[in-house]
Structure 1
């Protein structure tokens, strides 16, 4: 298991252990794995092929590689180092470990690749498909944590921010536990082998405006929205890109702004290649947990939102 210490990774480890699999998680040296009971932690640097073989695989045989590994920021250098190179190292190690199946957590946004991390993910997907090893490439839609950044803002009496009119995009959010169950079930479902699998949560597709309306209703308040022009992000990107020619760290910030713009303007649904439009009906659903159930838990203080590096707000 790679990426087992992230929020989705931990949920996936729990799901795998709960299905009586023997799970070995490769974690960064010096980190606190905090893994669920029943999983073994091995400290190995997945960016170093030698260390991966020596400290991680240890000459043993494994049946399946499950990878929830992902770059933290999506910046070009980080994306290619983790979303491609580290994954490629693990794929090479699979041959020595006699792995017969790879379950890869990818992302639905690679359908329309405009960003460095999307190209890195697609390049590894292609390498995995060409490897001859059975694969299940899972492309989930939006995560609950990525859509929960404004809960505290609204609780404090501020308006819910939307780009444009709040109807530019839609998604079918999926919870960590529902996605983890889907990933774990890939090990035993032959119908999910050698396929690219887009997957969303159980609710109908919802827009950012609908998310805000539901949040205000849970708080018992009248909806208040503030519309942010997409051009605002375009200006930020242009300024940071220009300055980035002279100050490299600003070039990385420009890429982060591009990521924000992408999520503000592109739906996380299956893309119809014939029409170029996103199709909610063609986006499969799974699980039982809805985003609005999660919002209710946040409002009641029963859960704490963990913000992702790609969160816009």
Structure 2
């Protein structure tokens, strides 16, 4: 995101709210940087989100619903640190104001973030995974089910002043199991391309080195780290005692399944579900 575009977003937010001509009861913030770049993350995941909090409070909002991400449990990336900093400040604001509450929603993986290879596999390309395909797992949730969960946070008292990890229905799935599911829907023999994750480590090392010499390449290194993170870290609740990811401790919600999503994409394509700059594979 270009600096001028960021500036326009930050500046127009307050103007838009001021021009509403009415009070605000609840703010639901789903702001996130487009690609996870270093500067973008702090401008959007932190600053713009913080602006929405105080602009909402200024106009009477008494509850703030924040769409965060489950991966902030293990913050190794800049956008995760930015999200966590805002989460902490949101909680602090609520602790200092008895008339103000929050709900922090931390979803697992979105269906569309797992659908990038569906059409490639349909066209005969192999399903790409890192390592043995079992390095990580997730309980993905559909946009519709997540939207319903977020809407419930506005009215449900049991979600007030809570940090709420949430996944979709069914068991946690590894990339290997997702690939097997896709080939089963296609009625084809599985064809996997297993890539050593060390390749990503080497590439990130090179980009990190170049980023120290050429600041314009800092984001390229960060994007590599983001890809590496999602290739190896599970999108599940991180047990605070064992420091291991737990499918059993990851709440499930909704009715939409990844298998149904894959089936629909095979028939209709990814139109409307494009990741754009957030595409990793």
- TM-score after normalising by structure 1: 0.83
Matched ranges for 1:70-85 at <5 A? 70-85=32-47
Deviation at 1:303, TM superposition (A): 5.2
Match of 2:211 in 1: 244
Match for 2:107 among 140, 163, 174? 140
Runs of 4+ that moved beyond 6 A: none
Q: Kindly provide the CA deviation profile for residues 214-258 of structure 1, in whole angstroms up to 9, marking residues without a partner as x.
A: 111111110011111111101110111111122223221010000
The alignment yields a C-alpha RMSD, in angstroms, of: 1.7
Match of 2:88 in 1: 126
Match of 1:309 in 2: 277
Deviation at 1:55, TM superposition (A): 2.8
Deviation at 1:96, TM superposition (A): 1.3
Deviation at 1:57, TM superposition (A): 3.1
CA contact (8 A) 1:141 1:173 kept: yes
User: Where does the alignment leave 5 or more consecutive residues of structure 2 unmatched?
Assistant: 95-99
Give the 3-state SS of the residue equivalent to 2:277 in structure 1: coil
User: Is it true that 1:55 corresponds to 2:22 in the alignment?
Assistant: no
CA distance in 1, matches of 2:152, 2:160: 11
Matched ranges for 1:288-303 at <5 A? 288-301=255-268
- TM-score after normalising by structure 2: 0.92
Aligned residues: 270
CA distance in 2, matches of 1:142, 1:109: 9
Match of 1:269 in 2: 236
Give the 3-state SS of the residue equivalent to 2:213 in structure 1: coil
Provide closer, same or farther for how the CA distance between residues 143 and 94 of structure 1 changes in structure 2, counting only shifts above 3 A: same
Match of 1:186 in 2: 153
CA contact (8 A) 2:29 2:52 kept: no
Match of 1:33 in 2: none
Of Structure 1 and Structure 2, which has the larger fraction of its residues in helix? 2
